Chain A
């Protein structure tokens, strides 16, 4: 494909919030402070990501980062994505609002995850890496990475959280169609998985364990690397094509959002749409409210603590300051598997800590109700994760005073729910429960989180 095939509305650069807010650069605790049991046996340091990719997570110099031409050509296959006004939904609600939604579910893999999967696979392939290994919760990231690896000629192995793989085995089949090897997590393949099964043979699985298994497998082969689909600054950067397009599409209509709403897993869904709007708002002096909607079963922003924590069960990734429920928290199984990570990413956490984003937690029954309403009005079935964003949007709109001018709302429908029909069917049959946090696991995990932070706060030993 050549340049002329690209839609002129397709952004040619990613928007880098770290330029405007360098204090958002991730804060990591020295590994020398970690308890002995978390120090790995290895002695060497090695780049886990190509420097050209990893640099994006610490880059404060450039407000806009050029998108490589090969990635742009791939984006051009499905971007720009649609932005539409939800007129029928507005009518049903009698809303004092103009509701716009940005829809990322129309690409082959069905979600926004493809935006970073293609970029990451490009950088890894260029650096000579042969194989990518990852963990996936809902399966959207795993599907996107499997396709991206296929396109870039890389091998791919995916550890998918057991509960979600069993809820929607077709996700695993899609990944296999793209050439990926798919393992249920926890499983017997890695020590991390075996340990999780030993603790609970019926474990539903978590993103932290799936990532831990992926890290362990990647470490066994010098040609393999672990790839991550959310949370890291570079991942959020890649997703900013969403928000940039939305700002431009709204501008054509003479609109600018007063409120942006997206669901919160680790932050790429939210950051992808919110960060460019935040940048545009600050450029123009217009106020914007940013709302992140999390699962009530995994309420890291509304009930978590802003502390240093591990992000995976292997404990080898950086110990970063994040809003967390503790890495030992086992969220109850919910259909929005993408919202079950125990912590928000460092960038989203920093935005919550300084009040840039506000958070709300929604239970899955409320989310499915909102998702079905959205589908019946607009003809798009949102993924369970996106349905949380719709539920948050309905709440925001319902609270907007009638005597004020209509609220302009932008909500992110990050993926389709066509592989979640079983869940929607269960909802229609009255079989969905409003699952909230597991209080016993939460209390234990938060205590462990505080103890961990107390332990690593000690001054370093003399060399």
Chain B
């Protein structure tokens, strides 16, 4: 991580003031990350937000870690342990929502 990158917290769900109204960039980022961590022969032909991470995408704990590391890399942040330990995600949409709730440091 470079010095420009920072540890960030995840804003609680429902804090609309921090949520990006346009989810499309988050959706694209999440789909890219999922594509990067799930081998082609182990994922559905097309990803969509209603798919379940565990049941449809076979997301075990190891792959979930890789996914979070991939998201950290794409976002240029270090996610905080204590925030992530309590999060439970079911669908791809939950993950898109999580990315939207990550509070990025304000640009200088």
Seen from chain A, the residues whose Cβ lies within 8 Å of a Cβ on chain B are 26, 28-34, 39, 42-52, 54-55, 57-58, 123, 126-129, 222, 317-320, 459-460, 462-463
Q: How far is the CB of B75 from chain A (nearest CB, A)?
A: 13
Please tell me if the beta carbons of A28 and B63 are within 8 angstroms of each other in the complex: yes
Query: A462 with B45: in contact, given A31-B54, A45-B54, A45-B88 (CB under 8 Å)?
Result: yes
Please tell me if the beta carbons of A43 and B55 are within 8 angstroms of each other in the complex: yes
Please tell me if the beta carbons of B82 and A57 are within 8 angstroms of each other in the complex: no
Please tell me if the beta carbons of A459 and B89 are within 8 angstroms of each other in the complex: no
Please tell me if the beta carbons of B65 and A47 are within 8 angstroms of each other in the complex: yes
Secondary structure at the A interface, as helix, strand, loop or mixed, is loop
Measured between beta carbons, the chain A residues less than 8 angstroms from B56 are 32, 463
Q: How far is the CB of A316 from chain B (nearest CB, A)?
A: 8
Q: A57's contact among B41, B44, B52, B62, by CB below 8 Å, is which? A: B62
Known contacts A50-B85, A127-B85, A318-B60; 10 additional CB pairs below 8 A are A26-B62, A29-B42, A31-B59, A31-B60, A32-B57, A45-B53, A51-B65, A58-B65, A460-B43, A462-B44
Please tell me if the beta carbons of A318 and B88 are within 8 angstroms of each other in the complex: no
Q: How far is the CB of A35 from chain B (nearest CB, A)?
A: 13
Q: How far is the CB of A125 from chain B (nearest CB, A)?
A: 10
Closest to B51 in A: A463
Measured between beta carbons, the chain B residues less than 8 angstroms from A46 are 64, 87-89
Please tell me if the beta carbons of A317 and B61 are within 8 angstroms of each other in the complex: yes
Closest to B42 in A: A30
Please tell me if the beta carbons of B68 and A128 are within 8 angstroms of each other in the complex: no
Q: B13-71: which residues lie under 8 A (CB-CB) from chain A?
A: 38-39, 41-46, 48, 51-66, 68-69
Please tell me if the beta carbons of A51 and B58 are within 8 angstroms of each other in the complex: no
Please tell me if the beta carbons of B42 and A460 are within 8 angstroms of each other in the complex: yes
10 contacts between A and B (CB under 8 A): A26-B62, A30-B42, A43-B52, A43-B90, A44-B90, A50-B85, A55-B69, A126-B82, A318-B62, A459-B41
Cα distance A49–B87 in the bound complex, in angstroms: 12
Q: How far is the CB of B53 from chain A (nearest CB, A)?
A: 5
Please tell me if the beta carbons of B62 and A33 are within 8 angstroms of each other in the complex: no
Cα distance A112–B63 in the bound complex, in angstroms: 29
Most central of B42, B44, B53, B68 by chain A CB within 10 Å: B42
Cα distance A195–B41 in the bound complex, in angstroms: 35
Measured between beta carbons, the chain A residues less than 8 angstroms from B62 are 26, 28, 57-58, 318, 320
Closest to A54 in B: B65
Closest 9 CB pairs of A and B: A30-B58, A32-B58, A127-B81, A463-B44, A50-B81, A30-B42, A44-B88, A31-B58, A318-B62
Cα distance A463–B45 in the bound complex, in angstroms: 8
Measured between beta carbons, the chain B residues less than 8 angstroms from A43 are 52, 54-55, 90
Closest to A43 in B: B90
Chain B 73-97 interface 0/1 with A at a Cβ cutoff of 8 Å (1 = within): 0000001011011111110000000
Please tell me if the beta carbons of A45 and B64 are within 8 angstroms of each other in the complex: yes
Most central of A39, A317, A460 by chain B CB within 10 Å: A460
Measured between beta carbons, the chain B residues less than 8 angstroms from A459 are 41
Query: A129 with B85: in contact, given A32-B57, A44-B54 (CB under 8 Å)?
Result: yes
Cα distance A127–B54 in the bound complex, in angstroms: 23
Please tell me if the beta carbons of A47 and B87 are within 8 angstroms of each other in the complex: yes
Measured between beta carbons, the chain B residues less than 8 angstroms from A47 are 61, 64-65, 68, 84-85, 87
Please tell me if the beta carbons of B82 and A128 are within 8 angstroms of each other in the complex: yes
Closest to B62 in A: A318
Query: A123 with B59: in contact, given A43-B54, A463-B45 (CB under 8 Å)?
Result: no
Cα distance A141–B87 in the bound complex, in angstroms: 29
Cα distance A28–B57 in the bound complex, in angstroms: 13
Measured between beta carbons, the chain B residues less than 8 angstroms from A129 are 85
Q: A51's contact among B45, B48, B81, B88, by CB below 8 Å, is which? A: B81
Measured between beta carbons, the chain B residues less than 8 angstroms from A58 are 62, 65-66, 69
Q: B60's contact among A126, A127, A319, A463, by CB below 8 Å, is which? A: A319
Q: How far is the CB of A49 from chain B (nearest CB, A)?
A: 7
Query: A33 with B58: in contact, given A45-B88, A51-B84 (CB under 8 Å)?
Result: yes
Cα distance A26–B60 in the bound complex, in angstroms: 12
Q: How far is the CB of A95 from chain B (nearest CB, A)?
A: 43
Query: A318 with B85: in contact, given A43-B52, A55-B69, A463-B45 (CB under 8 Å)?
Result: no
Q: How far is the CB of A223 from chain B (nearest CB, A)?
A: 9
Cα distance A398–B57 in the bound complex, in angstroms: 53
Q: How far is the CB of B87 from chain A (nearest CB, A)?
A: 7
Please tell me if the beta carbons of A33 and B85 are within 8 angstroms of each other in the complex: no
Measured between beta carbons, the chain B residues less than 8 angstroms from A33 are 42, 58
Closest to B1 in A: A61
Cα distance A87–B85 in the bound complex, in angstroms: 51
Please tell me if the beta carbons of B54 and A460 are within 8 angstroms of each other in the complex: no
Most central of A45, A129, A222, A459 by chain B CB within 10 Å: A45
Please tell me if the beta carbons of A44 and B55 are within 8 angstroms of each other in the complex: no
Measured between beta carbons, the chain B residues less than 8 angstroms from A319 are 60
Please tell me if the beta carbons of B81 and A52 are within 8 angstroms of each other in the complex: yes
Cα distance A263–B69 in the bound complex, in angstroms: 33
Measured between beta carbons, the chain B residues less than 8 angstroms from A123 are 81
Q: A49's contact among B59, B65, B86, by CB below 8 Å, is which? A: B65
Cα distance A312–B63 in the bound complex, in angstroms: 18
Please tell me if the beta carbons of B61 and A49 are within 8 angstroms of each other in the complex: yes
